[in-house]
Amino acid sequence: MAGSGRVVLAGAITGLVLVAFGQNLQQPEEAAAAVVPETIDIPSIDVEAPLMKLGVKNGEVELPPFEKPGTAGWFTGSAVPGEKGASVIIGHVDTKTEPAVFYKLRQLRKGSKVRVKRSDGKVATYKVDAVEQVHKDDFPLRKVYVEDGLKLVTCGGRFDRAKGEYDDNIIVYASRA
Amino acid sequence: MSTKTVDARRRTAEWGAAVLRVRRVACAGAILTIGLMGCTAEAQTPPATQTPTAEASPTPTETPAATASPEVSRISVQLNPDSVTAGESSTVWILANCPAPQGGPAHTGTATSRAFVSGVTLNPATSTASPAPTGNAAGDWVRGQAQVSGTVKRGSYTVDVKCDGTGHSGRATLRLTRPEPLPSDVPTKAPKAGGGGTYGKDVDEGSPIPLGGVGAALALALAVGAGVAVKRRRS
């Protein structure tokens, strides 16, 4: 009993030492790049959701799977919230059957707070500047993906049953508070 | 020359001929004098124009007078920014050096351009913060904001400003430039972030269903579902 306890303890210490050393070695180049946003918190519309990573495929940004309706995603090609540049977080308005994480996004109003918790423990706080509904053909790529600030994106408007998608996007623009 | 004419007059024997000759001589003399004068004038002018003082002095005093008389009313017009991206709606400040009119008329101006959604009234002071004129900013300025529609094509557009009351006017050029290409790693399409499950179901926006609860319920259902799925797959 006591012997196994010692082994576990020794293992844990070794692990800790390794982790500490590993972090020390990696910190210079990887610390900044490794930080990711982990959760998004929008108290005014009762959103508190985990964030997954979204890449881009054939010009289209990936989306959280419908099987995870409560999860929003951070576009990995955008800035980590709290850093300079455009940060983009996307979430479904609904699945094929029920409301999803950004169901109430269009209800956000100017001044509402948005908090993003990062893997380094920092919390980036934003305040909403504008909420806009635009047709997908007129999606403001530059404003969303290039210009400074946090952008929250979901769908809205009429649902085109033939195409299986909404006609419009709801975009929330927020700046550092 | 004069002695010749005097001599001619003294020979009064042949009047007609004499008169004729006098005239001729006078003429010749006149021509000679004019010629000489012309010569001397010509001879004198080149050095006059060649001397830098003679040439330099008239130029600065005469040119402004010459340009000022037909265009007394030209004023300085500045645009901020003077270049915007074509295809995006943007806002441009117009600043014009309109002098304040004496007495009656209000100190305002009007700016028009084919690039603007509509003409704009320029006022001496605006409620919103406006950029200050750059360069020689002396004198009275009026300013206003114009909207440039996203449908205006690339190119240079003249912005005309007329000062009300004084008749001054000026112009500036607004450039609509090609948008910078988007970075290559940026998506080119709008995200399809919805499955349509709630569309047309008329859940009104102010619905008291707290999404946090829904989200938690969903997450729970999902976890249970996932568990069930895993179990099924295993069994």
- Cα angle B8, B10, B16 (rounded to 5 degrees) comes to 60
Q: Is there a domain that residue B83 lies in?
A: yes
- List, for residues B2-54, the tens digit of each pLDDT value: 444 445 445 544 554 444 454 554 444 444 444 444 444 444 434 443 434 44
Do A156 and A103 fall within a single domain?
yes
Same domain membership, residue A17 and residue A51: no
Burial of B145: CB neighbours in 10 Å, binned 0-12, 13-18, 19+: middle
- Domain check: are B38 and B129 in the same one? no
Most confident of A6-15, B8-17, B69-78, B181-190: B181-190
CB contacts of B188 in chain A (<8 Å) are 59-60, 141
User: Both B108 and B170 in a single domain?
Assistant: yes
CA distance A4 to chain B (A): 33
B164 vs B61 pLDDT, higher one = B164
Alpha helices in chain A (DSSP H): 2-34, 141-145
> Which of A94, A108, A171 should be substituted to probe chain B, the one whose Cβ sees the most B Cβ atoms within 10 Å?
A94
Q: What is the pLDDT of residues A128-162, one digit of tens each?
A: 999 999 999 889 898 899 999 999 999 999 999 99
Local structure of residue A4 (DSSP, 8 states): H
Looking up residue B130, the CATH number of its domain turns out to be 2.60.40.10
Chain B residues in contact with A100 by the CB 8 A cut-off are 194-195, 218
- Domain contains B29: yes
Domain co-membership, B93 together with B157: yes
Residues A29 and A45 both lie in one domain: no
Choose among A98, A145, A153: nearest Cβ to B193: A153
For A13-66, write each residue's pLDDT tens digit: 555 555 555 544 444 444 455 899 999 999 999 999 999 999 998 889 999 999
Q: Domain range holding A25?
A: 1-33
Q: Do B94 and B7 belong to one domain?
A: no
Task: Mark whether A61 and A144 lie in a shared domain.
Answer: yes
Q: Which residues of B touch A155 (CB under 8 A)?
A: 191-194
Q: Are residues A147 and A85 in the same domain?
A: yes
Q: For B88-108, what is each residue's pLDDT tens digit?
A: 888 999 999 998 888 777 889
Q: Please give the pLDDT value at position B139.
A: 79
Report if residue B187 sits inside a domain. no
Tell me which of A120-124, B61-65, B116-120 is least confident. B61-65
Handedness of CA B181, B187, B193, B196 (dihedral sign): positive
> For chain A, what is the domain count?
2
Tokens 């709008």 belong to: B190
Same domain, B42 and B84: no
Q: What is the CATH number of the domain that holds A45?
A: 2.40.260.10
Nearest to B186 among A45, A136, A146 (CB): A146
Same domain, A29 and A70: no
Which structural domain, as residue segments, surrounds residue B13? 2-53
Q: Are residues A28 and A42 in the same domain?
A: no
Whether the Cβ atoms of residue B89 and residue B108 lie closer than 8 Å to each other? no
Helical H runs in A69-147?
141-145
pTM comes to: 0.52
